[in-house]
Chain A
Amino acid sequence: MSKPHPLWRYASPAHFLPLTGRLLPLLWGVAAVGIAAGLWLGLFVAPVDAQQGETYRILYLHVPAAWIAMVCYGAMAFWALWGLAWKTRLAFVLMRALAPTGTLFAVLTLVTGSLWGKPMWGTWWVWDARLTSALLLALLYVGFIALTSAVDTPGDRQRGDRAGALLALVGALNLPVLYFSVSWWNTLHQGASISPRGSAIAPEMLWGLLLATVGFWAYAVAAVLTRARQQLQARVEREALWPRSLESAA
């Protein structure tokens, strides 16, 4: 029998918990420094944009948020597939831990986007393809959380795991069609709306954006891992309880 890849050992809580315990302080540190430095560069140091004025500065929050919201859904679907295929407990825990962070960043994308849209487009909301699909992504996250929490019972998380995993997979498979249909619908109903033009940007802008992105990514990973640790510990405790309850019954 061939030896399994060394990475597999981290699928066991006995190895996952110490590893994340070592990683988490580092991640929280990177998050704090990255977000602080990125926002400082972006909000105070970077020059004013020639076309958009001061309002463009919301991009230091908006761009990382949109990116993280989309990637989190992909990661959820990945762990859903992993969990359904290999039945590892950690995969479902990570899948569930990703959902609140994804929801947070999806909502943040919508809020910052409409805050930017009001001064730039003169309206809080436009029914354009990107905005509509961002709203649908937020709805998919909310549906996932609502389903898993409605299926869960205090003693049994397995059914919630499976229902959530199937929903995440179906949602991920549906996303390309959804995005295609929405952009098709958009070209049908209205001309292309105003979009921020990519221009040569000042180095302070680039560095600010890069640092803020790294910081928000570190925050997202740290938040997901912290949540996963808590859920995993709660599950391990609950599973450790039942042999004891059998003993007391005997």
Chain B
Amino acid sequence: MGAAYQAAAALARREGLGVLRQPAEWLTPLAFVVGVALMFPLGLGPEPARLRELAPGLLWIAALLASLLSLPRLFAPDLADGSLEQWWLAPLPRPLAVALKLAVHWGFSGLPLVLLAPVLALAFGVDDPLPLALSLLLGTPALALLGGLGAALVLHARAGAGLLALLLLPLEVPVLVFGTAAANGGPNADSALLLLGAWLAVLLALAPWATSATLSLMLD
């Protein structure tokens, strides 16, 4: 048990340091969201009423696309330098190692988005950005879990982020549907938030296991 704790702490520390030492990795998706958010008024026109109405959905789509950006670098460097195989030999359950890695990844990619999106929503004229922030708080971990599975599937693929997007977009539809419904407010927002939480719970239980199984198959 002590060895597992040590391994878990070492993994979390290594992942965190890796991201901290390359700030571009987690700052790029944030800058991407700001850039995409800037494109919406420029493309749709600056009418405040329409922007206010569309803002939650637009910001959700921007967050979903941003979550795809960092995925190709999630497992590929670890596979290339052999550290993935070391984690596979470490005294740590593999799904747990995957979950830890994804948790650190979410902490640097999803959590900043949760904090940034309400600010952008204010810029779009949304009065109460709390539903958007709450829905992203439940939605971005779900996106990270699905994204980890996708990143593991394309480890040996000779293709770029386009393939990953093609695989992940249909799988992420439920997250987007529940998330935007919750962010839009209205009478269905509460049930949408509950459904989003339920789907996140299912993914939390299944995705790390499926991702570690995928990685095991990709390793040999």
Binds B, one of A32-40, A164-172, A204-212: A164-172
- The answer to whether B153 touches A139 (Cβ under 8 A) is no
Residues on A with beta carbons closer than 8 Å to the beta carbon of B214: 163, 166
Instruction: Find out whether the CB atom of B177 lies under 8 angstroms from the CB atom of A136.
Output: no
**Cβ of B153 and Cβ of A166 under 8 Å apart?**
yes
Of the candidate stretches A6-14, A180-188, A237-245, the one touching chain B is A180-188
Per-position contact with A for B154-198: 1 when CB-CB < 8 Å, else 0? 101111000100110111011001100100000010000001000
Q: Does A174 contact B (CB under 8 A)?
A: yes
Q: Do residues B210 and A166 form an inter-chain contact, with CB atoms below 8 A?
A: yes
Which residues of A, 159-201, contact B by the 8 Å Cβ criterion?
159, 162-163, 166-167, 170-171, 174, 177-178, 180-182, 184-185, 188
Q: Report if A150-B157 is in contact (Cβ < 8 Å); known contacts: A142-B166, A170-B149, A188-B188.
A: yes
Q: A104 in the interface, Cβ–Cβ < 8 Å? A: no
Q: Which of A136-163 contact B (CB under 8 A)?
A: 136, 139-140, 142-143, 146-147, 150-151, 159, 162-163
- A162's partner among B171, B199, B217 (CB-CB below 8 A) is B217
Chain B residues with CB under 8 Å of A171's CB are 170-171
- Chain A residues touching B, range: 20 to 34
Which residues on B sit within 8 Å (CB–CB) of A136? 170, 173
Q: How far, in whole Å, are A82 and B52 apart by their CA atoms in the complex?
A: 50
A-B Cβ contacts below 8 A, count: 75
Q: Is the CB of B171 within 8 A of A174?
A: yes
User: Which residues of A lie under 8 Å from residue B156 when comparing CB positions?
Assistant: 151, 159, 163
Nearest CB of chain A from residue B17's CB, rounded to whole Å:
30
Within 8 Å of chain A (Cβ to Cβ): is B218?
yes
- The answer to whether B90 has its CB under 8 Å from any CB of chain A is no
Interface residues of chain B: helix, strand, loop or mixed (majority): helix
Residues of B contacting A163 in the complex (Cβ-Cβ under 8 angstroms) = 153-154, 156-157, 214, 217-218
Would you call A162 and B173 a contact (CB within 8 A)? no
Q: How many of chain B's residues touch chain A, expressed as a range?
A: 20 to 34
Q: Would you call B181 and A188 a contact (CB within 8 A)?
A: yes
Q: How far is the CA of A136 from the CA of B171 in the complex (A)?
A: 9
Bound Cα distance from A142 to B166, whole angstroms = 8
Q: Is B213 in contact with chain A by the CB < 8 A criterion?
A: yes
> Contact between A181 and B210 (Cβ–Cβ < 8 Å)?
no
Q: Is the pair A181, B157 in contact by a Cβ cutoff of 8 Å?
A: no
The answer to whether residues A167 and B199 also contact, given A142-B166, A159-B218, A178-B170 and a CB cut-off of 8 A, is: no
Closest to A180 in B: B174
B157 touches A139 (CB 8 A): no
Which residues in window 72-97 of B have CB below 8 A to A? none
When the two chains form their complex, are residues A170 and B171 in contact, meaning their CB atoms are under 8 A apart?
A: yes
How far does the alpha carbon of A73 sit from the alpha carbon of B188 in the complex, in Å? 32
Our pick among A139, A150, A159 for the contact of B159 (Cβ within 8 Å) is A150
Q: Is the CB of B173 within 8 A of A143?
A: no
Chain B residues with Cβ below 8 Å from A188 are 181, 188
Flag if B177 contacts A184 (CB, 8 Å). yes
Rounded to whole Å, the gap between the CB of A167 and the closest CB of chain B is: 6
- The reply to whether A151 and B157 form a contact with Cβ atoms under 8 Å apart is yes
Q: How far is the CB of A16 from chain B (nearest CB, A)?
A: 25
A87 shortest CB reach to chain B, Å: 11
Residues of the A chain whose Cβ atoms lie less than 8 Å from the Cβ of B218? 159, 162-163
Task: Please report the C-alpha to C-alpha distance between residue A171 and residue B218 in the assembled complex, in whole angstroms.
Answer: 18
**Are the CB atoms of B177 and A185 closer together than 8 Å?**
yes
Question: Given the known A-B contacts A163-B157, A166-B210, A166-B213, are A178 and B163 also in contact in the complex, defined by CB atoms under 8 Å?
Answer: no
Identify 19 new A-B residue pairs, CB closer than 8 A, beyond the known A159-B218, A181-B195. A136-B170, A136-B173, A139-B166, A140-B170, A147-B167, A150-B154, A151-B156, A159-B156, A163-B153, A163-B217, A166-B213, A166-B214, A174-B171, A178-B171, A178-B173, A180-B174, A182-B173, A182-B177, A188-B188
